[in-house]
């Protein structure tokens, strides 16, 4: 199997100085950085997924184009500076994006999914209809959301549809 690491929405608005800070972000930032390094060491390609609010739908509370908050966290960009960036406007990273084409170019058959928010963009991407051809693993120690409780509930819900593993076990 050919793996690809999807790093979903590690963007400034989700961190302490952003417009919608999440729970446990500094730990997740470090864990995702470690996962990216492990992926590089094993030849696993990394794909950044970046949510940009759809301006046609009006101003959103965060992730608006041209703002510092929409940018991918600088530590994540530094960890994978040459990784392709797939821009999305919906929770499902496949919907209306270049993700499938990017995965096809990489001949990926297995997706390692991590990022923010566990119950929303991570879940919608992991169980997307478009993800069905892939073996999907969600990296439990590389995801976060608004609270630990919501994170754990989302992982429990995902457990019936995809594999759950730590980054160290999956990469």
Task: Indicate which residues carry an active-site annotation.
Answer: 121
* CB 67 within 8 Å of CB 8: no
DSSP 1-27: --EEEEEE--BGGGSTTSSS--TTHHH
| Distance in angstroms (rounded) separating the CA atoms of residues 41 and 95 | 30
**Which candidate, 66, 82, 63, 65, places its Cα nearest to that of 10?**
63
**Which candidate, 64, 45, 44, 46, places its Cα nearest to that of 54?**
64
**Which candidate, 43, 4, 18, places its Cα nearest to that of 116?**
18
| Distance in angstroms (rounded) separating the CA atoms of residues 94 and 96 | 6
Alpha helices (H) along 7-147: 25-41, 74-79, 99-105, 123-126
């Amino acid at each position: 199997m050919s793996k690809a690491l999807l790093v979903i929405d590690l963007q400034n608005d989700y961190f302490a100085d952003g417009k919608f800070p999440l729970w446990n972000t500094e730990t997740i930032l470090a864990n995702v950085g470690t996962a990216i390094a492990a992926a590089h060491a094993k030849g696993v390609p990394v794909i950044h997924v970046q949510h940009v609010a759809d301006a046609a739908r009006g101003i959103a509370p965060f992730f608006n184009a041209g703002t510092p908050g929409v940018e991918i966290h600088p530590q994540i960009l530094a960890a994978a500076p040459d990784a392709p960036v797939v821009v999305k406007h919906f929770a499902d990273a496949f919907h209306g994006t270049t993700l499938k084409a990017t995965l096809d170019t990489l001949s990926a058959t297995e997706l390692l999914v991590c990022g923010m928010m566990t119950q929303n963009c991570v879940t919608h991407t992991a169980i997307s209809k478009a993800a069905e051809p892939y073996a999907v693993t969600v990296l439990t120690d590389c995801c976060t959301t608004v609270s630990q409780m919501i994170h754990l509930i989302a992982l429990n819900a995902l457990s019936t549809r995809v594999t759950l593993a730590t980054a160290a076990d999956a990469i």
